[in-house]
Each structure stands twice: as structure tokens, then as C-alpha cells.
Structure 1
Amino acid sequence: MFGPESARDGWDGLPFVFDKVRVGDCPARRARAEAFLDIFAREGCRMVEMSCAEHDAHAAETQFLTHTVGRMLAMLELRSTPINTKGYETLLRLVDNTCSDSFDLYNGLFMYNKNSTELLNRLEWAMDSVKKKLFDGLHDVLRKQLFEGSPHAPNNASVRK
């Protein structure tokens, strides 16, 4: 669960996900699989055994979402400012981290994980929900400014939802 950017300072603590689907019961195959996995464990990886389906469900949210948000923010061409907040610095690092990886890697997260399409739909729904909440509040403020105290103001009870 790491690429060149997240592992550039080493593998210590990074999750290595595996599923022993083709190992079988043969002692030699089991020993070979354990020797292979031990390479990563000795390097400090956090070894996580899970099914491929579980991995894909989690990867859509941890990797695909992260890369999608990073690439969306990159489209905004964000720059450091004299008044950066810690949160804004985190966003700038997210852009650097995700856009340093190839588009092919990002595209693979989409193409080869069926959960990514559903996550894109949820992300779009979330953005629409936030925008609606903002615009609904804006309209309430404008209504008050335009009609409060006006002799032609509509009855407030009929204007409100």
C-alpha cells in the first residue's frame, strides 16, 4: 500500500497487504511464501493479511479518494501564501504527494478497482450536498436583505420551506 512517494524514506510502518490465495498446502510453497513475506516484515512493513475484495474496498477509499482529491486540488493550481494555515499546508502536501505519482498509477486505481466508480459517485454527491447547503444559506440571507421591511415583501411563512 505504498508507492515511490510514500516509501521514499523507507518502508517502516507502511502496510503490506497480502492474501495467500495461490500458496496451497504444499510445505515448499508455504515456506517460499513465508520467506518472500519475511523480506517486507524485516524492512519494517506492517503486514496485513486480507482478502482481495476487502483490499479493493479499502483501497478505493484510502488510495483512489486520496489521489482523486489531490488531482482535483492540483487543477486549482494552488500556491503557498504568506498566510498558509496548517490545513492548507496539508492540502499542498497532498497535491505534491499524489501528483508526483504517475497518472498511469492513478488510472490503474480507477480501471482495476470496481469500487472506484461508486466512490466517484459518492464524492460528486458529497460536493453537491455541500454546495446546496451553502447556496441554501445564501438564498436565505438574500431573501432577508431584499424583503425584510419592504412593503412588497412576500409573507415570510410562504417564502420559507
Structure 2
Amino acid sequence: MTTRLTVNGAVVDAESDPDTPLLYVLRDELGLHGAKYGCGLGQCGACTVMVDGTAVLSCLMPLLTVEGRKVLTVEGLGTADAPGPMQAAFIAEQAAQCGYCIPGMMMRAQATLTANPGASEQEIREALEFNLCRCGTHIRILRAILRAQGEMQQAAASRPVGEDVL
């Protein structure tokens, strides 16, 4: 059975069984390795991606639930040559140590700031409670998100009215 969805702006037809977790489809079928397998139980956040603008745990989401929907992974935020604001901020703040949790952190932060561009530091902290980092780089991660928030707000202020980015 084919499941059609949009991943990082491109329409794709996934051939995996509809009950296959989205994480496996992204990694094994589509070759997108940003989302990580952490626990497989939805308890660590390493597999976080966005579906229709909302942060979700891709290890718990069957493929059939994303049919016709828009999936955004960390690869969709930018490229190595042209990182998006969130990626650039994580690089500038050296927020990654081992890097395993970072894609999930970025995606949860992106979803939070997309839904609430003016989120307070406390709201950002609360949103990130679902994502674990064993290396302890939480302060640098938070600094990176706040930096990205500032850059995103500045970019939004300079955009013509009605022009959407995502």
C-alpha cells in the first residue's frame, strides 16, 4: 500500500506498511536520518518532528496517520551550506555535545516558536520538558533557542505583510 505525504516540502509516496512508525519510514525508506531512535517509547524526544506544524514523537506515530499531511524534519529547516535560523543558532551557541538529542530539540523548539513566536523563556523550557539531553547542554540549548527566536522575530519584522516562510 502506498501512503502519500509531504516531507520537507516534497510530496512522497511511502511504500512501508501503514502501521510502520513514521520514524522508520523517514530513516529507512526516505533516507532522512535527523530524527533519532532513542527509546522507541515516546519518552526521550530524540525522534521529534513536526506534523502540520505540531511537534510529534515519530516513533509513536504510525505512517497511516500522516497520510496527506505535512511532515517537517530537521533536514527541512536548512542545509549545511544555508542553515535555517534554528540550526544556525545551535551552531553559534555550540549547543550540541554528542548531538543525539539536538534534532529533536530543534524541532520541538521550532514548533513552539512557530505556534508562539513570542514565547517566554519559561514557556520554551516547559515545551522542552519532553526532550531529554543526557550530556547536560541544556543551558546552551536554551541560549540557542532564544537566539533563534530573536533572529526569527527580526526576520518576520522585515518581511512584507502576508509573506509566509514555512
The bucket for the TM-score relative to the shorter chain is under 0.3
Structure (1 or 2) with the greater strand fraction: 2
More helix by share: 1
- Structure with larger Rg: 1
TM-score (norm 1): 0.24
TM-score normalised to the size of structure 2? Answer: 0.24
